[in-house]
Amino acid sequence: MNRESDMIRVLVVDDERNIREGSERILSRLGFEVLLASRGDDALQTLEDADVHIVLLDLKMPGIEGMDVLPIIRRLKPDIHVIVVTGYATVETAIQAMKEGAYDFISKPFEPDHLRIVVNRAADKIRLGRQAEKLKQERQRTLLDLDTEKSRVRTVVESLPNGVIVTNTKGEVVLTNPALIQLLEIDSDAVSEGRIEDYIPDSELCKLILEISRGRHVDFDDIPDHEFSISGGKKFILAKGQPVLGEKRECLGAVVNMTDITHLRMLDQMKSDFVAKVSHELRSPLSTIHEQLAVVIKEMAGEEKAVGDRRLLSKAREKTKGLISLIGDLLDLSRIEEGAICHEPRPVDIGGLLSGIVNFMESRAAAKQQTLTLNLPPDPIPELTADPLALESIFGNLIANAVNYTQEGGEIRVIVDMAGVNVRVKVVDNGFGIEARYLEKIFERFYRVKNENTRYITGTGLGLPIVKGLVDSLGGFIDVESAPGMGSTFTVLLPVDNP
Ligand code: ADP
């Protein structure tokens, strides 16, 4: 009935048979397993053979007396609870037995209830002891588990292929892995206690990690990825940091994951080089064909019968013109991406520059019965220090797009004002608009939104990437808000003092 671990075994040692059997009956009913012995030496033998927890020991027996058996039990099996059974006349002996280490005593003749109480008391003590032992073992096991869990996490972090660095709330380094040491080419001897700057050679990233560690970025979405290079620009690394949050979402520090993206950068570079090279190689033969077509068309001008051929050649010339402008865009873009665009910054009156572009574009807008207006603020705008050609390209592209992607009779407004230290230029149209899911894509190379409205509008999908590249190179910022059928607003911020 009982599991072995819960079982309590009682050995009743008494020379009187009816006491032995009576005790057995009472104790068995209480769930104890009962063994019997009629003599002291039998009792010792049973204790050798079986795992006994309580001994009910009659002190007065033939052969070895109970009083002699007691010290032997105490010596051989000190955990056994011995309850001595004495006659009325031997209370002193009982006291002596207690001194010898007996757990309790019971006087003869005893009532069943009396026996039950005394044996149950010993049994409770044994059960308590067992429970305490179990708890102790469990605690030891939890500690052991914790230890193995800790070393397991450590092993996982150590074997990650990416570099990992963990800081505490003060921004001190508390954990790194071998991949990080290798990736950042850190001399392990040179790093002192946890100074982040000793590990990371990029001050911007150190600043970001400090901010994350101090709990400034609990919202994961606002943490920018950070790219930096080491080994004199030969190795590129992408770092992604995030806070380590506790149970109550309190910040406990930062964990930063670093990946070697040199190969991606090289691939990008190779692609740009390839595009630049191919564009360059194509440009002159194509321009030649374009010019030669013009000559042929001119020569055919008087020939009545060649009208059809002339139309064909004019179409071909249109196509070569499109290709030449595509190649021009590609070359511009690769120069901007390479940072090879030679900016010649000069003080520029942005109002004057924009009014020139608006005047130039007015005829295109008028051809679509659109109104194109420029709103300048009442107060004079400080001059921008920038390359006027870059500014022409930025706003020329944006205004041309507004005209292209707005229906006939639409309205395009160019609005200029100051936003802090920045000049803010908004190009607002009430044209086709752009669905939210394309808003980021339109700044990618060759991306064009394809729908009923844009179907017949020609373009390369390179205008906005060029605009973005130029705005970035001027230390500015570009954003777009748009809703289909409502129109689009492209906002450009340009710092007055461009570093
Ligand atoms: P392109 O005009 O040559 O296609 P861009 O890079 O300038 O290339 O623009 C990419 C795409 O963004 C366009 O094809 C068009 O779908 C969309 N777009 C740009 N400007 C606007 C605008 N003002 N209104 C609506 N859609 C626009």
What CATH number corresponds to the domain at position 373?
3.30.565.10
Q: Specify the residue with its C-alpha closest to ligand 1, atom 14.
A: 448
- How many angstroms separate the alpha carbon of residue 436 from the centre of ligand 1? 13
Q: Residue range 411-440: average pLDDT? A: 95
Residue 284 lies in a domain: yes
Residue 462 lies in a domain: yes
Same domain, 389 and 422: yes
- Phi and psi at residue 331, in whole multiples of 5°? -65, -40
Query: Which of 393, 398, 401, 478 has most ligand 1 atoms within 8 Å of CB, for mutation?
Result: 401
Write down the pLDDT at residue 1: 44
CA–CA dist 298, 296 (Å, integer)? 5
Write down the pLDDT at residue 254: 93
Same domain, 21 and 98: yes
Same domain, 295 and 235: no
Same domain, 485 and 360: yes
Is the CB–ligand 1 distance for residue 488 below 6 Å?
yes
Where is the domain boundary, 338, 354, 379?
A: 338
- Report how many domains make up the chain: 4
- Compare 392 and 305 and report the one with higher pLDDT: 392
Question: Distance between alpha carbon 384 and the CA centroid of its chain, in Å?
Answer: 41
- How many angstroms separate the alpha carbon of residue 439 from the centre of ligand 1? 10
Is the CB–ligand 1 distance for residue 489 below 6 Å?
no
CA–CA dist 330, 398 (Å, integer)? 18
Is the CB–ligand 1 distance for residue 460 below 6 Å?
yes
Of all atoms in ligand 1, which is nearest to the CA of residue 490? Answer: 23
pTM beyond 0.75: the answer is no
Q: Could you tell me the CATH number of the domain that includes residue 213? A: 3.30.450.20
Write down the pLDDT at residue 220: 66
Same domain, 287 and 164: no
Identity at 33, one-letter amino acid code: E
Q: Which pLDDT tens digit goes with each residue over 184-240?
A: 988 877 776 788 988 999 999 999 999 999 988 766 667 888 999 998 888 999 999
Q: Which pLDDT tens digit goes with each residue over 295-317?
A: 888 888 877 777 788 888 888 99
Same domain, 318 and 434: no
Instruction: Lowest mean pLDDT of 7-21, 271-285, 431-445, name the range.
Output: 271-285
Q: Which long-range contacts (CB under 8 A, 24 or more apart) does 17-25 make?
A: 19/58, 19/85, 19/108, 22/112, 23/56, 23/115
* Residue 485 structure tokens: 């059928």
User: Whole domain around residue 20: which residue ranges?
Assistant: 6-134
Q: Which pLDDT tens digit goes with each residue over 344-370?
A: 788 999 999 999 999 999 999 999 999
- How many angstroms separate the alpha carbon of residue 223 from the centre of ligand 1? 29
CA–CA dist 251, 143 (Å, integer)? 26
Residue 144 lies in a domain: no
Is the CB–ligand 1 distance for residue 401 below 6 Å?
yes
Strands (E) located in 65-161: 81-86, 104-107
- How many angstroms separate the alpha carbon of residue 405 from the centre of ligand 1? 7
Is the CB–ligand 1 distance for residue 430 below 6 Å?
no
Same domain, 75 and 39: yes
CA-based angle 438:443:446, to the nearest 5? Answer: 90
Q: Which pLDDT tens digit goes with each residue over 468-495?
A: 999 998 989 999 999 999 999 999 999 9
Same domain, 281 and 354: no
Same domain, 369 and 424: yes
